């Protein structure tokens, strides 16, 4: 068998060293580097360096909200699973997801919409002041944008990185073009639950610094 | 607001149509196309078409084991979360993960190894005849390869797609070179929990066909 690193701290530190050169020419702040690095680490894909889009107020707004104990609302259970909920709870927050809820399933079926979309609608005004993390479903992000436009819902931060070939790129373009609140996103088809969780956790780990 | 698809079945079907051209020249069987498509769909990344490696017996062995009610063992909770556990249970299987177990955390700390590695070790002989799905930790895959070599543990199928820049590519190369059992993997740094879950679910959905 070959030799390999088994110490989690050493693995993470070595990984960040390998990622650093990909970020060198991007003019990022030390905090922005942390968000970019965690995302690239989660995807194993340095191409994310050129597609991540951080609203200039995203880190400040997200950290302030999380520090004040805001809750996090996710589109799918995988995002919620990937969030460091112990760290979140230290500041008073909890992570919520309704996609597997029986009533949401019923509503989605009745209305012919996705469960992630029905779940976002059901969160409603609870999204005010919260961090919303969407890692899978473009429809959840479209629905959030509609709630912001039509009901003046105002999250503190939107981490919107739905993935795929049907609506994901469009939903994220619309987030960048129209969001009245700060966002973290990636343009194009890529994204996913680990990307959303990585962005959330990057912010959570900053709160200790 | 722009128009977007909201019917889950229509979204999935449209997505598979968009992915199909990327697979055209790969000489895949209809079942292999399903595995490739679900992985590419989960990553939003057609580049996976050229890095997925399917052992010739992988689909047959995985489907036979799942149909017979085998259990699935995962390295991290995100993989377990992403697996369609309702579908798995229809055939008698359950999905297990120990990475968040208190005793595993204690063992990992005492021994200076990752929790995913300690968890794989703890599964031990329960891995015989099972499907093992590793979506995050290279150390879990290295440990599984060691268990196969030193203790003659024999899963029915290994879905080994750990992600990242420290050990992931090496662990997957070793899986391809040394595994005594069928595998599904991707070469290089890419991978992740959604990729592992997508491969598992592709097999589970085949059981109905």
User: How large is the ipTM?
Assistant: 0.95
- The answer to whether residues B42 and B67 touch, using CB atoms and an 8 Å cutoff, is no
- Whether domain A51-206 has CATH 2.170.190.11: the reply is no
In A, minimum Cα distance to B79 occurs at A78
pLDDT of residue A73: 98
Q: Answer whether residue B5 shows pLDDT above 90.
A: no
- The pLDDT value recorded for residue B185 is 98
Min CA distance, A69 vs chain B (Å)?
24
Per-residue pLDDT band for B208 (boundaries 50, 70, 90) equals: confident
Question: In this structure, what are the phi and psi dihedrals at residue B95, rounded to the nearest 5 degrees?
Answer: -105, 135
Res A1: pLDDT: 53
Are B194 and A192 inside 8 Å of each other by CB?
A: yes
For B110, nearest residue in chain A (alpha carbons): A7
| Average pLDDT score over residue span B178-184 | 98
**pLDDT tens track for B86-102:** 999 999 999 999 999 99
For residue B1, pLDDT beyond 80: no
A192 with B197: Cβ contact below 8 A: no
- B71 noted as active-site residue: no
Interface test with A, best of B87, B102, B109, B166 (most A CBs within 10 A): B166
pLDDT in tens, A73-103: 999 999 999 999 999 999 999 999 999 999 9
- Return the DSSP state at A72: E
Total CB pairs under 8 A between chain A and B: 138
Residue entry with tokens 């609870």: A126
Could you tell me what percent of chain B has a pLDDT over 90?
Answer: 92
Superfamily the domain B46-206 falls into: Cobalamin biosynthesis CobH/CbiC, precorrin-8X methylmutase (3.40.50.10230)
- The residue among A1, A2, A3, A4 with the most chain B CBs within 10 A of its CB, best to mutate, is A4
CA dist list (Å): A189 to A194, B42, B45:
15, 10, 7
Question: Nearest by CB to B42, which of A11, A166, A192?
Answer: A192
pLDDT of residue A7: 84
Distance from CA of B144 to the nearest CA of A (A): 12
Tokens of A92: 């008073």
Instruction: Round to the nearest angstrom and report the end-to-end CA distance of chain B.
Output: 39
Low-confidence ranges of chain A (pLDDT < 70): 1-2
Q: Chain A closest CA to B113's CA: distance in Å?
A: 5
Strands (E), A69-186: 72-74, 95-96, 131-134, 157-160, 183-186
- The alpha-carbon gap from A31 to the nearest alpha carbon of chain B, in Å, equals 21
Using the beta-carbon criterion (under 8 Å), do B166 and A117 form an inter-chain contact? no
Q: Single out the residue of B141, B197, B117 nearest to residue A78, CA to CA.
A: B197
Residue B47, pLDDT above cutoff 70: yes
d(CA B152, CA B141): 15
CA distances from A144 to A6, A133, A141, B56, B135 (A): 41, 11, 5, 44, 29
**Starting from the edge strand earliest in sequence, which strands make up the sheet with A157-160, in order?**
A52-54, A183-186, A157-160, A131-134, A72-74, A95-96
End-to-end Cα distance, chain A: 39
Mean pLDDT of chain B: 96
Which pLDDT value is given to residue A8?
Answer: 80
* Nearest residue in chain B measured CA to CA from A149: B1
Q: Is the pLDDT of residue B130 over 90?
A: yes
Interface test with B, best of A7, A8, A102 (most B CBs within 10 A): A8
Q: Is the pLDDT confidence value at B2 over 70?
A: no
Nearest residue in chain B measured CA to CA from A18 = B165
Amino acid A69: pLDDT: 98
């Amino acid at each position: 068998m070959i030799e390999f690193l088994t110490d989690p701290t050493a693995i993470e530190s070595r990984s960040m060293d390998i990622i650093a050169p990909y970020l060198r020419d991007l003019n990022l702040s030390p905090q922005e580097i942390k968000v970019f690095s965690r995302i690239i680490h989660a995807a194993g894909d340095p191409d994310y360096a050129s597609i991540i889009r951080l609203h200039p107020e995203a880190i400040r707004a997200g950290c302030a909200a999380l520090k004040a104990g805001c809750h996090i609302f996710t589109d799918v259970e995988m995002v919620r699973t990937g969030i460091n909920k112990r760290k979140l709870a230290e500041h008073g927050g909890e992570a919520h997801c309704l996609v597997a809820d029986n009533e949401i399933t019923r509503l989605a079926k009745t209305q012919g919409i996705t469960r992630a979309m029905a779940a976002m609608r059901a969160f409603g005004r609870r999204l005010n002041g919260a961090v919303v993390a969407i890692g899978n479903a473009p429809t959840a992000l479209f629905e959030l944008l509609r709630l912001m436009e039509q009901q003046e819902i105002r999250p503190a931060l939107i981490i919107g990185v739905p993935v795929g070939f049907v609506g994901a790129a469009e939903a994220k373009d619309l987030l960048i073009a129209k969001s009245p609140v700060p966002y973290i996103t990636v343009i194009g088809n890529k994204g996913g639950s680990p990307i959303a969780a990585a962005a959330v956790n990057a912010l959570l780990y900053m709160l200790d610094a």
